[in-house]
Every structure is written in C-alpha cells, then in structure tokens.
Amino acid sequence: MIDPKMYVLRRRVLLEKILHNSMTGGVLLLICAVVAVMAANVPALGWLHRFWDIRLGFSFGEFSFDMPVRQWVDDVLMAVFFFSVGLEIKRELLVGELSTMKKAMLPMFAALGGMVFPALIYTYFNAGTPSAAGWGIPMATDIAFAIGVLSLLGNRCPVGLKVLLVALAVVDDIGAIIVLAVFYPSHDIHLIYLIYAAVTVLALLALNRAGIRSLLFYLILGAVLFIFVFKSGVHATIAGVILAMTIPAKTSKDDIRAFTGPDSPLGKLETALHPWVNFLIMPIFALANAGVVIDPSSLGQGTMPAVIPGVFFGLLLGKPLGIFVFSWLAVKLGLAGKPEGTRWIQILALGILGGIGFTMSIFIDNLAFTDPAMINAGKLAILATSFLAACLGVAALYLTTKKTDKNNVI
C-alpha cells in the first residue's frame, strides 16, 4: 500500500513541476507567436513566413508523404503532442483528479459547459455563413498558456483552483479530441486503412495484455498506426492519443497498483516527453501557425467576418459563463463538491483563463476552413482574444484571491 501522505506529497510535487514548466513554456510560446506575427507582416522576416510552405516528402511503396513543412508540423509533431496529452489523460483517469466519479464530476461539468456555451455563441454569429464550420474553434482551452498565466499568481491562488484548472483542461482536451476525430477529418475517409489501424490497435492491446513493458515495441507499432490513420482520412494526431491509451501504466506485470509514478512505462514517457512538448513542439507549432497577416485597410472595408465575433465572444464570454454555470449546477445538484478554500467568484475568474484558446483553437481553425482569408481572420480573433483573456483572467484572480498560508503553497 502507498502511504497516503507520500501520495499527496507526490501529487503536489507533480503539480508544482507542471505549473513551473507550463509558465516557462507559456512564455516561450508567446515569444514564438509574436515572432510568427512579425514574420507575416515584416518584409525582412518574410522568409520565415514562407518557409512553412516549402514542400518536403518521401515515399516507400504505395505510401507517399509529400506535403508542406507546416503540414509536417501539424500532422507529425502534433501527433507527438497529442500522444503526450493522451498519456496525461490516462494518468489522470487512473490515479489523478479524474480517477473517481466524485473527483471527476466537477471538472467534467465545468469542461462541458466551457465547450457548449462557446460553440452556441459562435453558432449564433455564424449560422448560415461560410464560416459556420468553425464552431469548434472557441471550444478549446490552451492548457500551457492557461496554467502558465495562473502560475504568475504564485501562492495567492488556492491549491483547489489550480487542481481544478488542470483537471478541467484535461477533460477539455478529451472533448477537443472527440470533436477533432468526429467533425474535422483531414480528408475523405478510407475504410481499408481504418481496418488496418484497428488491427494495429489490437496488436498494441495484445502487447499490453501480455505484460510487455519494452517501449520500443509500442513505439514501432505506434509509427505504423500513425501511417494507417494518416492514410485513412481521420486526422493523424488521433493516432497519438490512441497509442497513449495502450502504454502500460503498471511498473511490472504483477503490480496490482494501476500507476505508482515515474518508474512505469507511462510515467517514463510522460516525464521524457514533457520538456520536448513544452519547449520544442508547441513553440514550433506557434511559429508555423500563428503568423496572421494584419491588414487594417482590409479590416476597415465592408462587414467584419462573422468568425471574428464568434471566436471573440465564444472564448471571452462563453468559456467563463459555461464553466461557472455548469460548475454551479453540479454543486447545487449534489453531484460534485466545490474545491476547498475557493469561492464562486474565483471559479468565475478561473473561467476567464479558460478563454485562452491559442494552440488547439488555431489547430481547429486550420482544419475548419479552406479559405486563407477566413483562416487568417480566425487566427486574428484567436490571438487577440487569448491575449485579452489572459490579462483579464489574471487580473480577476488577483483581485479575488489573497496570499495563502504556507500549508497551501505548492
């Protein structure tokens, strides 16, 4: 049996590492986003903006991979990102804040409200327009940015709020993955490759069931799974999530404990990938995708694209209202408990940080539209709203919290 005190200590240390790394990674992500915008608007940096459109590829047999550098980033590197997200989701489901129904209900309700409200608000502005397909854009919360901004408050913020944001973001990621897989396929679906992918997944599950702990076998089959999913028409990043769910979480075949920490294959991979995702993959994604062309003259002519108010109000109003209302309902209905030491006004303030869409919002924006002008308008709205949500969110939390005692500091 694990000592409960030791388990709590491990959880606090893990959360502290997440908060610290996310704050640093969030700053780097912001810098890369600024550089990308400058590259799109400053002629001297135009080479960087054009670099992502260079085509690279190779082929073996009937498989051919020939696509722009930006697509290599969006499909291959982001598959690794989603793999990391999948590992985190599995850990939280096994021993984290989603491991029991009692723990999971509040973040589940909060995340659901934070997805439904923004989608409805976006649809209100965009129903019947060419940009109607972008309803998934304001549903996503960027966990790195949101937790990074929250970290700036230090010990002013109760531990309960920090844990709620981490758990909420994990559930939000699950929702985003489902939306991505079901509503935003990369191209036409090819059944034969889906069958190949399903057989590969069965092989991965068989490895897990047989007690195989060597990560090499999983990663080789994971690469095969990626190819089949890529060719099937389902977005290739989903392969990363599926692979993560098959990674062994036990330290040994005979270990009856689901997950004990960094010694398990899951723990080793999550620990190893975290810095690569935060400090390489996400910054490269920002450099490749955050480059929005800002043309005041075009914005001043004619009517504003409906995607802009849809994203703006969806993220800035829909997120906090949805998170707050659904959290309140869950508590009032007796389905969940309010985090210890928190007030409702603080949960509303926390919801504002949920309006930081960035990575996942830009990712879905690229998939939802084919018109470059519409993609550009969506990115502009995402960047502006995410920045505003970060500023308003940290200000609201600062005003509604106070320094906690040393027992609450993590």
> For position 352, which CATH number holds?
1.20.1530.10
Q: Is the residue at 197 inside a domain?
A: no
Q: Is the residue at 349 inside a domain?
A: yes
In order along its 410 residues, the chain shows pLDDT tens digits of 445 555 455 555 555 555 556 667 777 888 888 899 899 899 998 898 889 999 988 777 666 778 889 989 988 898 998 898 888 888 888 887 777 888 889 999 999 999 999 999 999 999 999 999 999 999 988 877 787 788 777 777 787 888 888 888 888 888 888 888 888 876 677 889 999 999 999 999 999 998 888 899 999 999 999 999 988 888 888 899 899 999 998 776 555 454 545 678 888 888 888 888 888 898 999 899 888 887 765 555 557 889 999 999 999 999 999 999 999 999 999 998 888 778 999 999 999 999 998 888 998 999 889 898 899 999 999 999 999 999 999 999 999 887 654 444 44
DSSP 8-state code for residue 23: H
Note the helical H segments in 300-357. Answer: 307-313, 319-332, 344-353
DSSP 8-state code for residue 63: E
Q: Is the residue at 207 inside a domain?
A: no
pTM above 0.85, yes or no: no
Residue 318, domain extent: 4-186+235-408
Q: Is the residue at 208 inside a domain?
A: no
Q: Is the residue at 217 inside a domain?
A: no
Q: Is the residue at 206 inside a domain?
A: no
Q: Is the residue at 174 inside a domain?
A: yes
Domain count, the chain: 1
Q: Is the residue at 194 inside a domain?
A: no
